[in-house]
Structure formats: structure tokens, C-alpha cells
Amino acid sequence: MEFPKSLIVVVGPTAVGKTAMAIALAKHYQTSIISADSRQFYSEMSIGTAKPSAQELHEAPHYFINSHSISDDYSAGDFEREALMQVDKLFVHTDKVVVVGGSGLFVRALCEGLDDLPKAPDEIREALNAALERDGLPALQDRLRAIDPDNYDQMDHDNPQRVVRALEVYEATGKPISYYQKNQKSKRDFNIITVGLNTDRALLYDRINKRVDLMMQEGLLEEVKNLIPYRNKPALLTVGYAELFDYLDGKISLEQAVDSIKQNSRRYAKRQITWFKKYGDTTWFEPNQREDIIKFIDSKTNK
């Protein structure tokens, strides 16, 4: 069914140029941007999340950037509820709204709704978190790979929170989390046009490496130091933060931490590409194909 309103969803790997494209599209269609990045919500996390600059935020209205504190617990379900409310408000004045993000779970929450996953007893979660602290993430990754090998490579298995969540579902039910992910879409009363950005792998990896170097020059280490009181929050158990906490703990050198950020960012980008290639009806473009993307969107919206 075609609806009069459309979400233009810009997805793709980290550092590919999603922010610039989203701003260009928002300016062209005179509309606003909803961020579906799972870390850019938090006002205390800026450098390590590659948050849009002050100038970029000024170029188009943005929502869900600096909207919450790291001290808050903010889930994909919370985002789904709040983002749908914001989309409804924006659609009063415009036919199109741009969504941008590399967090597959949060994009899916807004566009489709989330699966109704079983809730595990607190003791299971506590035991798994204790195992994470005692044995480290690789041990839990091995368990998850053995439980759900077909789904393992599609998951964000470098994110401790996601690994623990998948394991607790299995421990509570005896079935892997993929069993419950039926991909049943919730009804949405707007069209969804998903534009994927991708480019040559070597070029993308070079952009990632340079971005990490720039983050360090801009003060990422100081940002991480200021976040030490919140270091066990899920948003900080991620690339760019976890490695520098290891450095501050004396586990690795600063050079090793920076190299690990680059390597883990490249691995994350590869998983993002894999995930979004299997997600929905995504049409792919190079980051510099702005005019082609606009023509594609117009053909989908009959404008």
C-alpha cells in the first residue's frame, strides 16, 4: 500500500558519508533528520560517536542527537516509541522525513518494530554478566557461536550487551535468539525508502583509519577519561571506548588501543554492510551519487 508520507532511510557502514547525505537530502526536501544511531543520543559521547558537528547540526533540524544522558537507560524500544511520536509530529508539516543511522537494531525498531523477545530471569542475566567479567567476551562469543552458528556472523557479536542478551534468551528458553526474530513487520502508515551507501572496501577502510586518527587528535582519550564513572553502561562497551578503557586499565599501550579501534571499526563496518544488504528493500549507491539518489527517491514518491 502506498501512503502519502515517506521515511527516507539512509543506511550504510561507519565513515561512508551518511551524515553528509542525510543533510543534503533534508535540505533538498526541506525537512528534518531523525538520528537512529544507538550512541549519538548521549550528550556526553561526541568524539567517539562521530556525532555531526555544530555546523552540520545547524544545516538541518536534527532529532535524537544529544537528547539523553549516558546516566539514562535508553533502549531500542524506548527509541521506537519516541521516534514514532516525533515522526508523526513532523509529518504534520512535511511529506518526507530523513532517517540516518548505522545501528541496524534502531533502524529496524523505527521502521518495523521489534520482536517480542522473552524476558530472562534476573539470575540468568547476573550469571552471564559475572561470566563476562570473569572470562571475558571471547568466551561468551564462543558459547554463542556454538548455540546459533547460522546467525552468529550477522550479529553485532563484538557488543557485550548484545551477546549477553542473546545468551540469556537461550538460557531462559532453550532456543537461540534467531528463533524469536521472525521479521514480522509492524504496520506503519508511511512509506519506507531505504538508501544504502557503500564504496570500495579499501577506500572505506582508509576513511575509517583516518577518522580514528582525527578522533584522537580531537581529544577522544579525554572524553573517555571523563566517562570512567559510567564505563559499565552498554553504550560504552563499544568500539572507540572499550579499547581506551583497556589502555587506562594498563592492559594495552595507547598505540595498541588506537590500532584496535581501527581494526574493530573496520570489522564493524563489514558487519553493517552484511546486515543492511539483508535488511528490507535497500537500494545501494556510492556516497557521491546525490543526484541519482534524489531521482530514485522521487521515482518512489511520484514527485
- Say whether 12 counts as a known binding-site residue: yes
Whole-angstrom Cα Rg for the chain: 19
Q: Which residue from 178, 182, 149, 154 is spatially nearest to 166, judged by alpha carbons?
A: 178
One domain, residues 111 and 236 = yes
Asked whether residue 159 carries a pLDDT value surpassing 90, the answer given is no
| Contact indicator for 70, 42 with CB cutoff of 8 Å | yes
- Say whether 14 counts as a known binding-site residue: yes
Query: What is the mean pLDDT of the segment spanning 224-244?
Result: 92
- Say whether 136 counts as a known binding-site residue: no
One domain, residues 217 and 280 = yes
Please tell me the pTM assigned to this model: 0.83
Instruction: Tell me, yes or no, whether 89 lies in a domain.
Output: yes
Domain boundary among 180, 199, 228: 180
- Say whether 18 counts as a known binding-site residue: yes
Cross-strand partners of 7: 97, 192
One domain, residues 49 and 190 = yes
One domain, residues 278 and 189 = yes
| Contact indicator for 104, 279 with CB cutoff of 8 Å | yes
Domain boundary among 180, 202, 218: 180
Instruction: Tell me, yes or no, whether 203 lies in a domain.
Output: yes
- Say whether 4 counts as a known binding-site residue: no
- Say whether 19 counts as a known binding-site residue: yes
Domain boundary among 150, 180, 210: 180
| DSSP assignment string, 29-96 | HT--EEE--TTTTBTT--TTTTPPPHHHHHHS-EESSS-B-TTS---HHHHHHHHHHHHHHHHTT-SE
Summarize pLDDT for 250-284 with one digit per residue, the tens.
999 999 999 999 999 999 999 899 889 887 789 99
Number of structural domains (the chain) is 2
Residue 158: CATH number of its domain: 1.10.20.140
Domain ranges, residue 213 = 6-115+183-301
- Say whether 77 counts as a known binding-site residue: no
Summarize pLDDT for 160-213 with one digit per residue, the tens.
888 888 898 888 888 888 887 765 556 799 999 999 999 999 999 999 999 999
Q: Are strands 33-35 and 96-100 parallel, antiparallel or unpaired?
A: parallel
One domain, residues 106 and 150 = no
